[in-house]
């Protein structure tokens, strides 16, 4: 098999002489004959090529999923920092507000979204966590947010932490 034949095989282009041993060449010159199983036929090559392409796609997808999980975990570790900023601003908003805004802006540009439900908003168990309930004089059976106890956060549409709320009906 010559160099051009090997290039053709690597590109998926075959001819009969590329896939079967010839009577001339190094192996037969040395008196050694190569069995046909050392050469692959077109169908086997196409199957191997497809398998490799599937493997490449799967590993790329797994890498992207792993990378997203790493960033998601990192964003989750920053949530207590946000809460510490918010608690500190109760005492010294003037000093912390510019740094807090800058920090939140940087996280927002990375895909972080705060979940701060409005009072009276319908309770959504997909993004809210009911930690307390109160009775309502209205007699309405629909649960609504009465008080936000802790903000929730989404990162790239993935829930990192639900908003903790008090609900009432």
32 located within any domain: no
Strand-pairing partners, residue 150, are 164
25 located within any domain: no
List Cβ neighbours of 38 (8 Å cut-off, separation of 6 or more).
21
Per the structure, the count of domains in the chain is: 1
Q: How far apart are CA 81 and CA 102, in angstroms?
A: 13
141 located within any domain: yes
Asked whether the beta carbons of 162 and 127 are under 8 A apart, the reply is yes
Q: How far apart are CA 143 and CA 122, in angstroms?
A: 6
Q: What confidence score (pLDDT) does residue 24 get? A: 46
Is 2 in a helix, a strand, or coil?
Answer: coil
Q: What is the pLDDT along the chain (169 residues), one digit of tens a residue?
A: 555 555 555 555 555 444 444 444 454 455 555 455 556 788 888 999 999 999 999 999 999 999 999 999 999 999 999 999 888 888 888 888 899 899 999 999 989 999 999 998 999 999 999 999 887 666 667 889 999 999 999 998 899 999 999 998 7
126 located within any domain: yes
154 located within any domain: yes
Is beta strand 144-150 parallel, antiparallel or unpaired with respect to 163-168?
antiparallel
52 located within any domain: no
Q: How far apart are CA 90 and CA 130, in angstroms?
A: 25
How is residue 123 annotated by DSSP?
Answer: P
142 located within any domain: yes
List Cβ neighbours of 69 (8 Å cut-off, separation of 6 or more).
none
Q: What confidence score (pLDDT) does residue 13 get? A: 54
Which range of residues forms the domain containing residue 143? 114-169
The domain that holds 126 is classified in CATH as 2.30.22.10
């Amino acid at each position: 098999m010559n160099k051009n034949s090997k290039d053709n095989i690597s590109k998926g282009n075959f001819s009969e002489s590329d896939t079967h041993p010839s009577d001339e060449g190094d192996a037969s010159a040395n008196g050694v004959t190569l069995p046909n199983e050392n050469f692959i036929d077109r169908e086997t090559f196409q199957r191997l090529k497809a398998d490799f392409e599937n493997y490449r796609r799967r590993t790329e997808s797994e890498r992207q999923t792993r990378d997203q999980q790493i960033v998601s975990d990192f964003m989750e570790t920053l949530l207590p920092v946000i809460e510490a900023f918010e608690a500190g601003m109760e005492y010294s908003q003037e000093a912390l507000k510019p740094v807090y805004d800058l920090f939140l802006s940087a996280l927002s540009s990375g895909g972080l979204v705060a979940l701060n439900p409005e009072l009276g908003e319908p309770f959504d168990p997909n993004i809210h966590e009911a930690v307390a309930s109160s009775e309502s004089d209205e007699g309405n059976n629909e649960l609504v947010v009465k008080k936000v106890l802790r903000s929730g956060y989404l990162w790239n549409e993935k829930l990192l932490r639900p908003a903790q709320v008090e609900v009432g009906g």
